[in-house]
């Protein structure tokens, strides 16, 4: 199926745009050095590029005092808290607590005021306090940065809309290990779960927000 026929197939069925909300939070998903270190099993140049593209967006969010929340994957040394997911993907042992490749890339390192949420599964909402935290903050939109697009970012988009948040994905700020699953996931997210937009459009939205967007 060609790109044109694919778009035609979805037109009028899966092409509604939800638009931006009034109280966004940035969710920086698993931007850890396992994905940005050449030679590491999870390395992807697309993730490196996404980290670089995310720097000005995170800086603008901080300037506006928007919530910036990071997620990392972290397991007990036994892997027992990873269940079948840990068995399905044995390379997840790189994210056992204390392993150096599990650290957040220093280019976008969290500040002391940022929350860092540890998770064991693809969705940052599954088994964590993220949804309650965002609702308490009065957040109505989540801006997803991170990796991988086809894995944890897509899972965040699915669960995000299910928890009642507008999902915004700046396409330059998410990455994957290969372009094919990356592009497929962006298409799927935009069709069903959120709005895939440019970084420039996201920055323009941020520029129209008040300096403090928290209740």
Sign of CA dihedral 176, 182, 188, 189: positive
Domains and CATH numbers, the chain: 21-207 (3.40.50.850)
Sign of CA dihedral 127, 128, 133, 134: negative
pLDDT, position 13: 61
**pTM for this one?**
0.92
* Catalytic residue numbers, as ranges: 152
One pLDDT digit (tens) per residue for the chain, 215 residues: 565 676 676 776 677 889 999 999 999 999 999 999 999 999 999 999 999 999 999 999 999 999 999 999 999 999 999 999 999 999 999 999 999 999 999 999 999 999 999 999 999 999 999 999 999 999 999 999 999 999 999 999 999 999 999 999 999 999 999 999 999 999 999 999 999 999 999 999 999 997 654 44
Q: Got the DSSP string for 52-113?
A: HHHHHHHHHHHHTT--EEEEEE-B-TT-GGGHHHHHH-GGGGGGBTT-GGGSBPGGGPPPTT
């Amino acid at each position: 199926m060609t790109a044109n026929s694919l778009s035609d197939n979805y037109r009028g069925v899966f092409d509604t745009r939800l638009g931006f909300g009034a109280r966004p939070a940035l969710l920086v998903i698993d931007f850890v050095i396992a994905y940005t270190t050449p030679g590491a099993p999870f390395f992807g140049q697309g993730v490196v590029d996404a980290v670089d593209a995310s720097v000005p967006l995170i800086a603008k969010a901080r300037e506006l005092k928007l919530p910036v929340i990071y997620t990392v994957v972290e397991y007990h040394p036994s892997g027992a808290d990873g269940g079948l997911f840990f068995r399905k993907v044995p390379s997840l042992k790189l994210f056992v607590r204390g392993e150096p490749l599990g650290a957040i890339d220093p280019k976008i390192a969290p500040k002391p005021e940022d929350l860092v949420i540890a998770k064991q599964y693809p969705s940052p909402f599954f088994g964590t306090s993220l949804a309650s935290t965002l609702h308490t903050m009065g957040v109505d939109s989540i801006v997803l940065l991170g990796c991988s697009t086809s894995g944890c970012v897509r899972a965040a988009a699915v669960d995000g809309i299910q928890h009642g948040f507008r999902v915004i994905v700046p396409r330059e700020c998410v990455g994957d290990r290969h372009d094919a699953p990356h592009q497929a996931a962006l298409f799927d997210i935009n069709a069903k779960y959120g709005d895939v937009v440019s970084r420039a459009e996201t920055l323009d939205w941020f520029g129209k927000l008040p300096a403090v967007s928290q209740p």
